[in-house]
Amino acid sequence: MSTKKYFQLIYCMAWPFFSLFHPIKAVGREHIPAGAAVICANHTSLSDPLCVCFAFQLKHQLQPLGKIELLRIPILGWLLEKGGIIGVDRERADLKAVKACLLCLKEGRKLLVFPEGTRVAEGETVTGKGGAAFFASRTGTPIVPVYVPGKKRWFRSTTVVIGAPFYPVFSGRKATSEELDGITQEIMERIHRLEEQPK
């Protein structure tokens, strides 16, 4: 069975339960571009990847980047890996994960990245990591900011806001470290501005 089929299987298994306890309402689906894109969302809880995937629906399948520890969980880790989750070792420079992310975009797929790198309490400000900016600048793909509310109430809709895509701006053939920092800051600012949009 292909990665796409495994993803669809996981999606269809999780959706009935999730839609009952934490139904998702999406605002801004018209902003989702065709083809490759780096989807960047804030991260406050374990359920955020599911929230974003359900907001994008199966029509816009995402390939999430997540901590490698998830893939080491018996059975679940195997299923997630088969479904296309890219595991990254946060303790070192994981070149295998970097190559997998670049390949995902070069093949026209959508990569889901949480630039904060870990879960962050709502209201807390953390400097984003430069991975999303690097992937987008190296592949010429747009970045799509996404805001996921920190508070998710049982049996109440959680509204995920999808922002307009934008392309990273840099001067040379490759973005410098300073330019990557600037792009990352812009990503985080665009994500948090979505919180203020009417739902």
Give the C-alpha separation, 70 to 55, whole Å.
22
Mean pLDDT, the chain, whole residue set: 91
% of residues, the chain, pLDDT over 70 = 97
For residue 43, which of 144, 193, 162, 150 has the smallest C-alpha distance? Answer: 150
Q: Provide mean pLDDT across the span 148-158.
A: 90
Inter-residue contact 143 to 110 (CB < 8 Å): no
CATH topology of domain 3-196: Glycerol-3-phosphate (1)-acyltransferase (3.40.1130)
Q: Predicted confidence band at 198 (pLDDT cuts at 50, 70, 90)?
A: low
pLDDT tens figures, 178-191? 999 999 999 999 99
Q: Predicted confidence band at 123 (pLDDT cuts at 50, 70, 90)?
A: low
Give the C-alpha separation, 53 to 15, whole Å.
10
Inter-residue contact 31 to 60 (CB < 8 Å): no
pLDDT (0 to 100) of residue 77: 85
Residue 147 β-bridge partners: 161
Q: Which two tokens stand for residue 73?
A: 């969980």
Buried b (16+ CB within 10 A) or exposed e, 78-87: eebbbbbbbb
Sequence spans of domains, the chain: 3-196
Q: Provide mean pLDDT across the span 50-59.
A: 95
| Burial of 103 from C-beta contacts in 10 A (0-12 / 13-18 / 19+) | middle
- Give the largest CA-CA distance in the chain: 49
pLDDT (0 to 100) of residue 199: 60
pLDDT (0 to 100) of residue 61: 94
pLDDT (0 to 100) of residue 98: 95
Q: What is the separation of C-alpha 143 from the centre of its chain, rounded to a whole number of angstroms?
A: 10
